[in-house]
């Protein structure tokens, strides 16, 4: 097992990784930017290293500075969390070249799954349905137009190296495609350094269903059930739950095993999430593989009792999975609410600033609060607006919903605008409470 791990991230996920490391008796070194100097999550680290100025490209995205920090603090492994360098195959390769264990899939797997077109081919080879669209990277807008004419509008143009809704445009006709193709390519180049695009038929409505998978280096693979992430805005998830109220329980194990087998057969090792779009007929279409830990991993931890970060570390330390598929027990229902510092009434504009007062549920059975902020903390303007995650668990979905209502009522954050009030509105929505919602529901609630 590792003696020291570098945590190459910030905020709640840095704190989350540190908790699992502490439980395993592993020291943590945490990097930070100038803007995060003195941040609450740094207090529990054995050592901290400043990477540079606040802008991500000068700090958390500066691979050389991160690698130097790991070397100078004698770390044996690095956990990237999510975002920043987590799905950067070049960075993972540099870790390997430096003799630093990258806690996640290897560089080759990241590149393979990060190429959305190649990932689609891999899943199709294992009998998983894929969305109709281009057979590879689009050469130009003319080719995109031919594919769109073939599959029918509306379509989505998407970055092959994309994620988080970046480098993606909906196009309802040829005129939309002309501008959308150009905009998506520019955004993809700026976000990922790769302007390559592909095209898919847009399946209207539907639900976002994803499976959590763990694979070790010995060919063992398990799925840990599905999550429903259909409450989204501009392809950004806001609420996630497990199990999905719109997914047949009888299909869970059958599809989950097929997904796990597909990842293992491709040589994938560590934690991964396979995302699907479920249409109105209940059919699942593969979308992409997230080759990292997901923001929403706590709902899976609540329903399975498995510490996913601990498993990531153990797998990276070359340990085999200590449990098989039949050993897993899925218990109850969990829901996660992302708490963002955003002004909902101003188009979800980020609202950085100082938290003047802060009260979160503490010590309540069935309630988990993942965060790294407190009263007096100043939210910098450089990073993602999420400041915490409220996760609830109940024996049934109805019990989880009741638990969520109480927990949201007890959560009070002053000084900045947040999405807490929006979550209360969603929780009161009849369609959401009944589990009869799709990807359009949040927009309908906001109308």
CA pair distance 84, 91, nearest whole angstrom: 11
Q: What is the dihedral of CA 73, 77, 79, 83, to 10 degrees?
A: 80
Q: Measuring CA to CA, which residue among 252, 242, 273 is closest to residue 392?
A: 242
CA pair distance 259, 314, nearest whole angstrom: 22
CA pair distance 98, 315, nearest whole angstrom: 19
Residue where the block lists tokens 């954050």: 413
239-265: b (≥16 Cβ within 10 Å) or e = bbbbbbbbbeeeebeebbebbbbbbbe
Residue where the block lists tokens 């445009």: 169
Handedness of CA 134, 202, 120, 189 (dihedral sign): positive
Residue 344, token pair as written in the block? 């909902």
The one catalytic residue in 145, 292, 314, 397 is 292
Instruction: Tell me whether residue 169 is one of the annotated catalytic residues.
Output: no
Residue 145, token pair as written in the block? 């137009």
- Asked if 402 and 392 count as a contact pair (C-beta separation under 8 A), the reply is no
Q: List, in sequence order, every residue forming a beta bridge with 369; answer none if it has no partner.
A: 390
CA pair distance 102, 313, nearest whole angstrom: 9
Half-sphere exposure of 247 (CA within 13 A, CB side): 26
Q: List, in sequence order, every residue forming a beta bridge with 301; answer none if it has no partner.
A: none
- Asked if 77 and 6 count as a contact pair (C-beta separation under 8 A), the reply is yes
Pairing status of strand 412-414 against strand 284-290? unpaired
DSSP 427: H
CA pair distance 69, 8, nearest whole angstrom: 10
Kindly list the catalytic residues.
292
């Amino acid at each position: 097992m590792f003696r020291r791990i570098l945590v190459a991230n910030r905020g709640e996920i840095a704190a989350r990784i540190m908790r699992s490391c502490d439980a395993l008796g592993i020291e943590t070194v945490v990097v930070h930017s100038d803007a995060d100097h003195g941040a609450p999550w740094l207090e529990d680290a054995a050592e901290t290293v400043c990477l540079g100025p606040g802008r991500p490209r000068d700090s958390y995205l500066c691979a050389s500075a991160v690698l130097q920090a790991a070397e100078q603090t004698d770390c044996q492994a690095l956990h990237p969390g999510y975002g920043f360098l987590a799905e950067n195959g070049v960075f993972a390769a540099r870790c390997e070249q430096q003799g630093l264990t990258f806690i996640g899939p290897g560089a080759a797997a990241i590149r393979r799954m990060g190429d959305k077109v190649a990932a689609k081919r891999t899943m199709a080879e294992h009998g998983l349905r894929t969305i109709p669209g281009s057979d590879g990277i689009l050469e130009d807008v003319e080719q995109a137009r031919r594919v769109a004419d073939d599959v029918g509008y509306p379509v989505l143009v998407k970055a092959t190296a994309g994620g988080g809704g970046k480098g993606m445009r909906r196009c309802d006709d040829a005129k939309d495609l002309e501008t959308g193709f150009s905009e998506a390519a520019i955004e993809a180049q700026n976000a990922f350094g790769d302007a390559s695009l592909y095209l898919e038929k847009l399946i209207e409505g539907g639900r976002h269903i994803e499976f959590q998978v763990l694979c070790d280096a010995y060919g063992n693979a398990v799925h840990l059930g599905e999550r429903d992430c259909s409450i989204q805005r501009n392809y950004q998830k806001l609420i996630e739950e497990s199990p999905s109220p719109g997914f047949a329980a009888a299909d869970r194990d059958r599809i989950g095993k097929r997904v796990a087998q597909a990842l293992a057969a491709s040589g994938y090792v560590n934690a991964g999430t396979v995302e699907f779009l479920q249409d109105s007929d209940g059919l699942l279409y593969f979308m992409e593989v997230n080759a990292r830990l997901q923001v929403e991993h706590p709902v899976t931890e609540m329903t399975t009792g498995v510490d996913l970060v601990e498993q990531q570390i153990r797998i990276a330390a070359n340990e085999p999975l200590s449990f098989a598929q039949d050993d897993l027990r899925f218990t109850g229902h969990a829901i996660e609410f992302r708490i963002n510092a955003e002004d909902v009434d101003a188009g979800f504009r980020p609202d950085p600033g100082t938290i003047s007062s802060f009260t979160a549920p503490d010590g309540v059975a069935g309630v988990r609060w993942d965060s790294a902020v407190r009263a007096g903390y100043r939210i910098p303007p450089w990073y993602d607006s999420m400041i915490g995650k409220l996760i609830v668990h109940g024996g049934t979905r109805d019990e989880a919903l009741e638990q969520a209502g109480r927990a949201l009522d007890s959560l009070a954050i002053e000084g900045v605008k947040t999405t807490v009030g929006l979550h209360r509105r969603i929780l009161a929505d009849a369609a959401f409470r009944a589990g009869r919602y799709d990807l359009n529901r949040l927009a309908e609630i906001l109308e």
